[in-house]
């Protein structure tokens, strides 16, 4: 990504989960501080969103939050945005923490804090604005290979067999652009996940869009994905953290 510009906006990073799929690593480190090479994945994200010209980044923290504070506070002055926290004393899901952030008065970016990606956040926001959407989900194309013969049935009758098919799906990257009006549908201090909000907005006939990208994207939640992220970061560091 080259230096990017976008309207001044808020970013909310979800950094409160326990990262149970990455144990035992996450018994001592919160998942967003897992190192990708010599850099925590959270630091990569902060540097990337810093290139957007955002005014404020809010971290939703919970599990092992003292370690996140200890990492970020000495670095606060180097970030080109305000840095603040909201605390999840109980799990609030993937959109519930956004309701805790005061002063959101414009389009904002919500994302998981354990993502390694080359996605252009500026392009994502521009697409959202052009679509006039209430919410836009960054999407990645994924192929699922089935190692069996798949039967298509009508009742008990087989009408087709497809041998070892591959299916393609658009999956959420865990990165969202949202209008502040959507927060009115998120109850305060109550668990709510992004799919719940999407279903509610669709039911209201609010416009929810997908921004499909062929960028690199990995959620480091599983050990095999974490290992792949380390390898890709070392090989393509300049794409994740371009200089200048």
Q: Domains of the chain: which residue ranges?
A: 10-141+169-240
CATH class of 10-141+169-240: alpha beta
What does DSSP say about strands 108-112 and 115-117: parallel, antiparallel, or unpaired? unpaired
Evaluate if residue 62 carries a pLDDT over 50: yes
Tokens of 207: 């416009």
Q: Is residue 177 very low, low, confident or very high in pLDDT (cuts 50, 70, 90)?
A: very high
Query: What is the mean predicted confidence (pLDDT) over 94-109?
Result: 94
Q: Are 135 and 209 in contact (CB under 8 A)?
A: yes
pLDDT for the residue 2: 38
Q: What is the pTM of this model?
A: 0.88
Pairwise pLDDT comparison (9 vs 20), residue with the higher score: 9
Query: What is the mean predicted confidence (pLDDT) over 84-109?
Result: 92
Query: What is the mean predicted confidence (pLDDT) over 1-7?
Result: 42
């Amino acid at each position: 990504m080259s230096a990017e510009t976008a309207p001044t906006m808020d970013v909310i990073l979800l950094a409160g989960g326990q990262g149970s799929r990455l144990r035992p690593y996450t018994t001592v480190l919160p998942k967003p501080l897992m190192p990708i090479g010599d850099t925590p994945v959270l630091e990569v994200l902060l540097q990337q969103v810093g290139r957007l010209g955002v005014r404020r980044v809010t971290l939703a923290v919970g599990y092992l939050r003292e370690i996140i504070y200890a990492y970020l506070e000495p670095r606060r002055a180097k970030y080109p945005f305000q840095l603040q926290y909201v605390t999840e004393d109980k799990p609030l899901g993937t959109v519930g923490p956004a309701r805790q952030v005061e002063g959101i008065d414009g389009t904002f970016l919500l994302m998981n804090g354990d993502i390694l990606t080359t996605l252009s956040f500026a392009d994502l926001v521009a697409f959202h604005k052009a679509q006039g959407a209430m919410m836009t989900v960054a999407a990645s194309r994924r192929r699922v290979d089935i190692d069996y013969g798949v039967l298509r049935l009508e009742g008990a009758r087989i009408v087709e067999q497809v041998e070892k098919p591959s299916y393609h799906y658009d999956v959420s990257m865990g990165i969202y652009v949202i209008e502040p009006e959507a927060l009115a549908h998120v109850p305060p201090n109550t668990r709510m996940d992004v799919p719940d909000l999407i279903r509610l907005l669709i039911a209201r006939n609010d416009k929810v869009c997908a921004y499909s990208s062929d960028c690199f994207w990995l959620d480091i939640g599983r050990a095999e994905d974490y290992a792949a992220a380390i390898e890709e970061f070392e090989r393509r560091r300049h794409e994740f953290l371009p200089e200048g």
